[in-house]
Amino acid sequence: MKKLFYILCLLLIFADVASAQKLPAPPDYGRVVINNYSEKAGFAPVVFDHWLHRAMFTCRICHVDIDFAMEAGATDINADSNKKGFYCGACHDGNRVFGNKKMFASCSDKGQQDDSKICDKCHSYRKQVKKEYNFETFTAKWPQKGLGNRIDWEDVEAKGLIKPVDSVEGISIKKSPLRAREDFSIGSKGSWMTDVIFSHKKHTVWNGCEICHPDIFQVEKGATRYSMLQIYGGEYCGVCHGKVAFPLIECQRCHTKPVQ
Ligand code: HEC
Ligand code: HEC
Ligand code: HEC
Ligand code: HEC
Ligand code: HEC
Ligand code: HEC
Residues with CB under 6 A from ligand 3: 34-38, 41, 43, 45-46, 77-80, 82, 88, 92, 104, 106-108, 110, 113, 118-119, 121-123
- Give me the mean pLDDT over the 174-186 stretch: 49
pLDDT at site 7: 65
With a cut of 50, say whether residue 147 has pLDDT above it.
Answer: yes
Instruction: Give CB contacts under 8 A, 24+ apart, made by 138-145.
Output: 138/51, 138/52, 138/55, 139/51, 145/246
117/32: higher pLDDT: 32
Give the residue from 198, 243, 242 showing the smallest Cα distance to 222: 198
Confirm or reject: Cβ of 207 under 6 Å from ligand 4.
Answer: yes
> 105 falls in which pLDDT band (50, 70, 90)?
very high
With a cut of 70, say whether residue 167 has pLDDT above it.
Answer: yes
Query: In this structure, which amino acid lies at residue 1?
Result: M
Give the residue from 139, 123, 150 showing the smallest Cα distance to 48: 123
Atom 37 of ligand 1: nearest residue by CA position: 59
> 141 falls in which pLDDT band (50, 70, 90)?
very high
With a cut of 80, say whether residue 110 has pLDDT above it.
Answer: no
pLDDT at site 229: 93
CA of 203 to the centre of ligand 5 (A): 6
Query: In this structure, which amino acid lies at residue 227?
Result: S
